[in-house]
Amino acid sequence: MTIRAPQPRPTDAPAPLTTSDADESAWQRRHLLDLDDVSVDELDLVLQTADTMKEVLSREVPRVPALRGTTIMTLFYENSTRTRASFELAGKVLGADVINVSASASSVSKGESLIDTVKTLQAVGADVIVLRHNRSGAPYLAARHARCSIINAGDGLHAHPTQALLDLLTIRSRIGDVRGKRVVIVGDVLHSRVARSNLWSLTALGADVTVCAPRTLVPVGLEHAPEGTLPPVRVEIDLDRAIVGADVVMALRMQHERMQGGFVPGVREYSRLYQINAARLARAKPGALVLHPGPMNEGVEISHEVAHGLQSHVEEQVTNGVAVRMAVLWLITRTLSRGGRLPAGSAL
């Protein structure tokens, strides 16, 4: 499967995914599918709400009754540790009931389609379905056929909005406003939904984003896209140049299957040229943040000493992931209760 560049959403897509109810609040979304169309106000509201959720998480007994009576189902067609666990915990801290459905152990393995599975979960009583799927765009399809809310927990090569939000929360809580800050995203951007969602949110907030990877792993046309179609970023092939003066260095996972795909000559060459190690990090701004969406291949895209060094905020990212997902669940369910559930089969 090759994807040339993040596709702008086709015009017949089920946009706008909002309730029709006019409300002065900055949040109107019933689904969270990607960050390509979120406003600065919406990003601010999520981050501000996440700060409140951090306070809840810091309590001796982190539990509030905000989502009592709400049922959240996680439907994962791909493996996951941190995303699923943090969504589950986020729901539970807010007092919701959380049910985990893994595709391999459900009727999906008997051939049930995505739409039917979503409709079944909704009929059982799901208010929110957290969906991870190996096909890009699957959450859009689900949202089109669902009365409940759909949160994209990663779809194919396309988007992983809550990961980008937690990256943003981590960056903001460490260095404040990202406007004008230099962010370097290093690694397999071509196959990274994390990078795609991050490009949208970081550039929306005015960060100066550079993508650094071998040519084979940079989406074609990313640099020269017509204005407004793709996030405005710079591409730099040489990591030693790209990293100079960076405020944030984000390493992406080098997936083993890509090594066999002929995108890079080999692990050793890749890590020699693109590994974030102490020597390279020294060229960034002093105290620059190192982020990684996990799971890390230590010794490949990031050296052991940097991964666990003082500048690494990887663990904090995971903690922030719970707060951000609480914020998203809270905001999404507010929209549900304001707009009510749409009748079956109605257009979005």
Partner 1 sequence: MPEANIMSPADIRRAIVRIAHEIVEHNRGTQDLVFVGMRTRGVPLAQRIAAAITEFEHEQLPVGTLDVGLYRDDLTERGSSVNIQPSDLPDVAGKRVVLCDDVLYTGRTVRAALDALIDFGRPERIQLAVLVDRGHRELPIRADFVGKNIPTSRGDDVQVRLGETDGEEYVRVAAGEEAEALR
Residues forming the site for partner 1 (CB under 8 A): 25-27, 45, 48-49, 51-52, 54-56, 59, 61, 63-66, 94, 330-331, 334, 337-338
State the minimum distance, in angstroms, from the CB of residue 84 to partner 1: 23
At position 188, the amino acid (one-letter code) is D
Nearer to partner 1, 274 or 330 (CB): 330
Nearer to partner 1, 200 or 330 (CB): 330
State the minimum distance, in angstroms, from the CB of residue 143 to partner 1: 20
Nearer to partner 1, 281 or 326 (CB): 326
DSSP three-state, residue 80: coil
Contact yes or no for 129/142 (Cβ under 8 A): yes
Q: Which two three-digit tokens encode residue 42?
A: 């919406």
Nearer to partner 1, 56 or 348 (CB): 56
State the minimum distance, in angstroms, from the CB of residue 119 to partner 1: 23
Sign of CA dihedral 26, 28, 32, 35: negative
Helix (H) or strand (E) holding 154: strand 149-155
Please provide the DSSP assignment of 162-217 as one string: HHHHHHHHHHHHHH---TT-EEEEES--TT-HHHHHHHHHHHHTT-EEEEE--GGG
Nearer to partner 1, 68 or 256 (CB): 68
State the minimum distance, in angstroms, from the CB of residue 51 to partner 1: 6
Nearer to partner 1, 90 or 184 (CB): 90
Contact yes or no for 217/223 (Cβ under 8 A): no
Alpha-carbon distance of 258 to 145, in angstroms, equals: 34
Nearer to partner 1, 89 or 244 (CB): 89
State the minimum distance, in angstroms, from the CB of residue 64 to partner 1: 4
State the minimum distance, in angstroms, from the CB of residue 99 to partner 1: 21
Alpha-carbon distance of 134 to 152, in angstroms, equals: 11
Nearer to partner 1, 144 or 334 (CB): 334
Contact yes or no for 309/45 (Cβ under 8 A): no
Alpha-carbon distance of 204 to 241, in angstroms, equals: 24
State the minimum distance, in angstroms, from the CB of residue 326 to partner 1: 10
Contact yes or no for 74/142 (Cβ under 8 A): no
SS3 content of the chain, % helix, strand, coil (to 5): 40, 15, 45
At position 269, the amino acid (one-letter code) is E
DSSP three-state, residue 135: coil
State the minimum distance, in angstroms, from the CB of residue 63 to partner 1: 7
Nearer to partner 1, 141 or 331 (CB): 331
State the minimum distance, in angstroms, from the CB of residue 28 to partner 1: 10
